[in-house]
C-alpha cells in the first residue's frame, strides 16, 4: 500500500467509502436516515474541508482503499491547537482496515504535528471495530458516544410521588443549582471534564423559547430532582445522527440521592410522547464515554452510532521535530 495527498480528484471514491460504512451502520441501527449518509453528501462536505485542511489517501495498487482528512481547531480540548476528523472525513474498505488506518494516521499525524496540532480526535462509526482498534494501538482513548433511537413509547414502572412537567421560565431558579451540580459531576472522577462556561437565566429563557427546543423537570414530592432538555440538533454531535424529522437530547441530570428510581427513564418517556406529537421519528443523544452514569442510562434506550477517540501529545515534541 502507498499513501499520497488526498485531493479533489479523489472525492468520488472517498464518498463511496463513507457511504458504504454508513449503509453498514444502518444495518445495525435501522432508524438512521437513509437519505442523509449518501456518497454525494459526504463528497460535498469533503470538498469544502479540503479547501483549507490537509488529507491523505491510501492506495492498494490503483485502487483507493482509505482516506483521511481533518479540520484544525484552536484550543481544542486543551490549551493547544488540535485536529479533528469527523466520521465522514475518513473511511476505508473493510478488508485490511486495521493496516489501512495505521498507515493513514501515521501519514496525516506527521502533518498535524508539524502544523502545531497536539490534540488529535477522530469520530468512528460504531461498526468500525478494526479502525478503532488501530487508533487504540496509536494511543487513542474513547471520549464520546453518539447514539440514536426511534421516537416511541418507553415501558415504565410507576414511581410514587413523581411528576414530570415541561419546564417554564418560573422553574429556572430551581434548574440552575441542578446545572451547577451537573458541571461538578462532570469535572469529577473519572470524567475530569471542565465546564468553563455556564448558562445565565437569560440564556435558559431564550432556549425555552426556541422552536423545537424545550426542557422537562422531574418533581418528587414537590422537590425538583432531575431534568432533561432537547434541541432540534445538538452542537458537537456526530453528523451521521442527523437527518429529517429528528431531534436531540442535549442535557440531563438526576440528583445523586434519587438515582436508581427510574426518574431519568420517566423523563425520557415524556419526551418521547412529546416527540411523537411533534411528528419526529428519530432521536439522538451524545454523551461522555467516561461518565459511567450516562453510559448506564443511555445505552439502555439508545443504540450507538459513532464513537469518538482522542489523543493528546506531549507539547515537548514541538522542540524536537
On the question of pLDDT at 30 being above 90, the answer is: yes
Distance CA 70, CA 54 (A): 7
Q: What is the pTM of this model?
A: 0.93
What is the tens place of the pLDDT at every residue in 255-305?
999 999 999 999 999 999 999 999 999 999 999 999 999 999 999 999 999
Helix (H) or strand (E) holding 227: strand 223-231
Look at residues 71, 57, 72 and name the one whose alpha carbon lies nearest to residue 17: 57
Distance CA 278, CA 258 (A): 30
Residue pair 33/244 in contact by the 8 Å Cβ criterion: yes
Cell digits for 186? 462532570
Note the CATH number of domain 2-139. Answer: 3.40.630.30
CA distances from 115 to 74, 76, 83, 156, 194 (A): 12, 14, 10, 52, 26
Look at residue 318 in the predicted model and tell me its pLDDT.
79
What is the tens place of the pLDDT at every residue in 116-163?
999 999 999 999 999 999 999 999 999 999 999 999 999 988 889 999
Predicted confidence band of residue 251 (pLDDT cuts 50, 70, 90): very high
Residue ranges per structural domain of the chain: 2-139, 150-304
Distance CA 198, CA 168 (A): 19
Look at residue 226 in the predicted model and tell me its pLDDT.
96
What is the tens place of the pLDDT at every residue in 84-126?
999 999 999 999 999 999 999 999 999 999 999 999 999 999 9
What is the tens place of the pLDDT at every residue in 175-215?
999 999 999 999 999 999 888 778 888 999 999 999 999 99
Does 2-139 match 150-304 in CATH topology? yes
Note the CATH number of domain 150-304. Answer: 3.40.630.30
Residue pair 83/120 in contact by the 8 Å Cβ criterion: yes
Look at residue 233 in the predicted model and tell me its pLDDT.
82
Amino acid at each position: 500500500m502507498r499513501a499520497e495527498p488526498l485531493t479533489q480528484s479523489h472525492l468520488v471514491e472517498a464518498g463511496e467509502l463513507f457511504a458504504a460504512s454508513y449503509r453498514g451502520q444502518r444495518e445495525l441501527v435501522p432508524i438512521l436516515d437513509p437519505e442523509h449518509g449518501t456518497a454525494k453528501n459526504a463528497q460535498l462536505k469533503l470538498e469544502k474541508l479540503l479547501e483549507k485542511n490537509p488529507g491523505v489517501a491510501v492506495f492498494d495498487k490503483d485502487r483507493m482503499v482509505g482516506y483521511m482528512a481533518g479540520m484544525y481547531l484552536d484550543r481544542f480540548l486543551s490549551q493547544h491547537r488540535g485536529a479533528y476528523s469527523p466520521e465522514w472525513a475518513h473511511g476505508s474498505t473493510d478488508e485490511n482496515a486495521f493496516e489501512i488506518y495505521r498507515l493513514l494516521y501515521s501519514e496525516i499525524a506527521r502533518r498535524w504535528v508539524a502544523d502545531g496540532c497536539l490534540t488529535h480526535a477522530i469520530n468512528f462509526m460504531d461498526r468500525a471495530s478494526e479502525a478503532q482498534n488501530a487508533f487504540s494501538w496509536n494511543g487513542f482513548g474513547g471520549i464520546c458516544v453518539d447514539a440514536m433511537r426511534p421516537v416511541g413509547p418507553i415501558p415504565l414502572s410507576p414511581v410514587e410521588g413523581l411528576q414530570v412537567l415541561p419546564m417554564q421560565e418560573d422553574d429556572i431558579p430551581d434548574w440552575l443549582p441542578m446545572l451547577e451540580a451537573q458541571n461538578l459531576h462532570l469535572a469529577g472522577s473519572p470524567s475530569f471534564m471542565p465546564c468553563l462556561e455556564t448558562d445565565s437565566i437569560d440564556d435558559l429563557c431564550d432556549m425555552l423559547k426556541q422552536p423545537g427546543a424545550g426542557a422537562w423537570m422531574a418533581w418528587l414530592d414537590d422537590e425538583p430532582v432531575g431534568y432533561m432538555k432537547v434541541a432540534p440538533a445538538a452542537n458537537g454531535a456526530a453528523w451521521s445522527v442527523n437527518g429529517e424529522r429528528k431531534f436531540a437530547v442535549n442535557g440531563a441530570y438526576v440528583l445523586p440521592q434519587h438515582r436508581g428510581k427510574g426518574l431519568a427513564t420517566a423523563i425520557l418517556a415524556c419526551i418521547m410522547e412529546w416527540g411523537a406529537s411533534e411528528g419526529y421519528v428519530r432521536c439522538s443523544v451524545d454523551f461522555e464515554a467516561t461518565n459511567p452514569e450516562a453510559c448506564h442510562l443511555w445505552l439502555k434506550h439508545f443504540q450507538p452510532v459513532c464513537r469518538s477517540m482522542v489523543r493528546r501529545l506531549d507539547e515537548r515534541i514541538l522542540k524536537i521535530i
